[in-house]
A and B are shown apart, each in its own frame.
Chain A
Amino acid sequence: MDLLIDSLISAILLLKSLDAEVCAIVLVSLKVSSSSTLIASLIGIPAGFAIAFKEFRGKRMTITILNTLLALPTVVIGLFVYAFVSRRGIFGPLDLLYTQKAIVIGQVILIIPIVTTFTIAAISRIDERYRKSAMTLGATTLQTAGVVFREARFSIMAAVIASFGRVIAEVGISMMLGGNAKGFTRTMTTAMALEYDKGEFVLAVALGLILLTISFAVNLFFNYLQGRARA
């Protein structure tokens, strides 16, 4: 218990001093996670929207496969992407391995199923009357989709936030594809794992605190937006 309390006090002092190493790790984490969340959202939201909105053969199977992919372990994704970006892989010449780009690729694969399935659920829950109302008022298919999207916006935003939470907290992909290179690909989670291996808890606890604070701030902002919309 003393170890935890001592580590916590030291961690707070470290954060207060705005330690350069800590700041660099946090920035890399935020940059990588934001990029992968943005890319996954740009792919997953329209895909989820199209799957929910359109009737096509194999729709149920597609949703089942996406639901299955939610359980995909990060190490499997790490191995899969490694096979493509390692020197012997087909994307080997692009020199992506152990770069932030490689981490982003892996994380995008990790969260696309999350964004897509959450978007499908969000759109499917929207009352059919919104679509009919927009159509009877003369809206085009795109404008009708816009109305449905607007009504589902908070659920879709929740999908994006859940995805961000997933990538900022994952360690497998960052470690396998990023390599935990200091100042380049060291993220909060890979740094925490390293410090734990070294038996140095102070930095690990400090980073843990930052990670939780970031998650809390993001959710607080989301709740604020929801509250404003309902006011």
Chain B
Amino acid sequence: MLFEINNLSKVYAGRKVLDIPELRLEKGKVYGLLGPNGSGKTTLLEILSFLLPPTTGEIVYGSRKVDFSEGFLQGLRREVVMVEQQPILFTTSVYKNVEFGLGVRGVPKERRKRIIYEVLDLVGMREFAEASAHKLSGGETQRVAIARALACSPKVILLDEPTSNVDIENQIAIEGILRDINIQKGIFVIFATHNTIQATKLSDHIVFLFNGRPASSVYENIFSGLISTDDNGKKYCSIHDKLKIAVRTNKTGYVKISVNPIMIKVLPARDARAGDHRLLGRVMQLIDEGDHVRALIDVGIPFSALLSQREYKHAPVMAGESVALFCPPESIEVV
């Protein structure tokens, strides 16, 4: 086991942003930390990279219990490197940026050059070695930041939303790099993302986070709305003027709801009968995810539904087709 987390919490200004009773992360794997914005992914990564002390709780790294006093942490930081969501490069050349971690580790100059060009090759940035780091694009900056981290030969690399601010070309390149560094260099990779497809594609294990707590599955289709009650006593969550979803809850006022995509039924619009749990929309996108087909449906807001391959073969839906979504009460959770 590489990381063992027990009763970990982090409180900012009186608000608990992270609350993890237990989490185990095994050596050698690629972990995807999946959750929506504000779910505590960055805070968890910063704690795991020993940049931020938890408010309470215990972390065991390797077999050592982590003491979050400054003197103890520096040794650990030399094994665990984090790449931020929007990394910043020092105002010097790409080469000197990548050299930084080697310099602080006292690696001899002659060895540094070989390592620097090796990692720049790995991220496809060799020809930018002498370029000014501040003149690079977002994707190039992200790749150099990964190279800078890799040059340190870490045991663990943590990446916070590594592809959220880059174009598709750089996204493909970065995803390739993540796979390569795990397979070729044996580096343990933990990356945060809110992209379910990316997490499924790249990771051996997915850790779901929601509102700072581990969740049993990913919360998707998260919407904020106001709870209202009709004349018959039925409760609805009004997402906007034209979109109301029937819910079962005792809560009132503004709430967040999550609709489990795997429990949503997608039917051709002609087969749909009117009802509280039916929403009419149009299929915008279909994505093959192996066991499932993900359908992105516009019902006034984008809705994601996961169909099993059997369901999809039985009643295939086409892009552009009008459909009805059936969201059974048990698919809706007020969170």
Contacts and interface: CB of A to CB of B under 8 A. Distances in A.
A231 to B, nearest CB: 8
A130 B100 CA distance: 12
A136 B100 CA distance: 11
B82 interface: yes
Nearest to A146: B104
Nearest to A229: B91
A130 B88 contact: yes
A135 interface: yes
B81 to A, nearest CB: 5
Interface string B69-80: 010001001101
A130 B81 CA distance: 14
Q: Is the interface of A mostly helix, strand, loop or mixed?
A: helix
Contacts of A132: 51, 82, 84
B269 to A, nearest CB: 49
Interface in B100-114: 100-101, 104-105
Contacts of B77: 135-138
A57 B100 CA distance: 33
User: Which of B49, B51, B84, B91 has the most A CB atoms < 10 Å from its CB?
Assistant: B91
Q: How large is the interface on B (under 10, 10 to 19, 20 to 34, 35 or more residues)?
A: 20 to 34
A21 interface: no
A151 B91 contact: yes
Q: How large is the interface on A (under 10, 10 to 19, 20 to 34, 35 or more residues)?
A: 10 to 19
A136 B88 contact: no
A137 B100 contact: yes
A137 B81 CA distance: 6
Contacts of B86: 129
10 contacts: A130-B90, A132-B51, A136-B80, A136-B82, A138-B77, A138-B78, A138-B152, A139-B100, A147-B90, A229-B91
Interface of B: 49, 51, 70, 74, 77-78, 80-82, 84, 86-88, 90-91, 100-101, 104-105, 148-149, 152
Interface of A: 127, 129-130, 132-141, 143, 147, 150-151, 229
Pairs A-B, 4 closest by C-beta atoms: A129-B88, A137-B101, A138-B78, A136-B82
